[in-house]
């Protein structure tokens, strides 16, 4: 198991096969995937196949990472990057509903953003959220991303796109 990032309360690590049950449960909650355009896994075995065939780490050197609450050593969601269909670096996150409103998404996204600019040398990172996904939009704003367009995203016709560039991130970073 490769740990990629650590924050005060969280570990972000590469997915392992033992995450299959958690991934299945996470995507089985209609409220969790409501604004994603994703479908639930049909079974734990499907989630396991997803993890087995997940090539983002080897192909790109990054991906979505399991988020583990350090205090309890519990998988609470995921956060990380993917190279999207427009070849842009996309920051995404998803957490179990019982973990919402605890600051975990902001904490994980902030650390992921810093890693993207600092260790991975990205020039620009985007985030996308359905117009009605107010909670995710708040997280994107809290980490310094700025709205720049509405477009379709995985069948969501009113996805709001947010962006932050390296030079703007450096300005934010020096102010904190």
pLDDT for 142 equals 96
| 3-175 placed in CATH 3.40.190.10 | no
- Tokens 């994603």 label which residue? 36
pLDDT for 102 equals 97
**Residues 13, 66: contact at Cβ < 8 Å?**
yes
**Residues 105, 139: contact at Cβ < 8 Å?**
yes
Instruction: Give the domain ranges of the chain.
Output: 3-175
Write out residues in the chain with pLDDT < 70, as ranges.
171-176
pLDDT for 176 equals 46
Its pTM stands at 0.93
Q: 3-state class of 27 per DSSP?
A: helix
């Amino acid at each position: 198991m490769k740990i990629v990032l650590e924050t005060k309360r969280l570990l972000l690590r590469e997915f392992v096969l033992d995450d299959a049950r958690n991934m299945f449960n996470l995507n089985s909650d209609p409220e969790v995937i409501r604004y994603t355009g994703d479908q639930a896994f049909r079974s734990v075995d499907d989630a396991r196949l997803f993890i087995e065939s997940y090539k983002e780490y080897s192909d790109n050197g990054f991906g979505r990472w399991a988020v583990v609450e350090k205090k309890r050593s519990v998988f609470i969601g995921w956060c990380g990057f993917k190279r999207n269909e427009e070849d842009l670096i996309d920051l995404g996150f998803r957490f179990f509903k019982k973990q919402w409103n605890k600051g975990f998404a902001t904490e994980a996204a902030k650390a992921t953003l810093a890693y993207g600019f600092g260790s991975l040398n990205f020039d620009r990172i985007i985030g996308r959220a359905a117009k009605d996904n107010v909670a995710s939009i708040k997280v994107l704003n809290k980490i310094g991303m700025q709205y720049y367009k509405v477009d379709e995203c995985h069948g969501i016709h009113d996805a709001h796109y947010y962006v932050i560039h390296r030079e703007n991130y450096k300005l934010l970073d020096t102010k904190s």
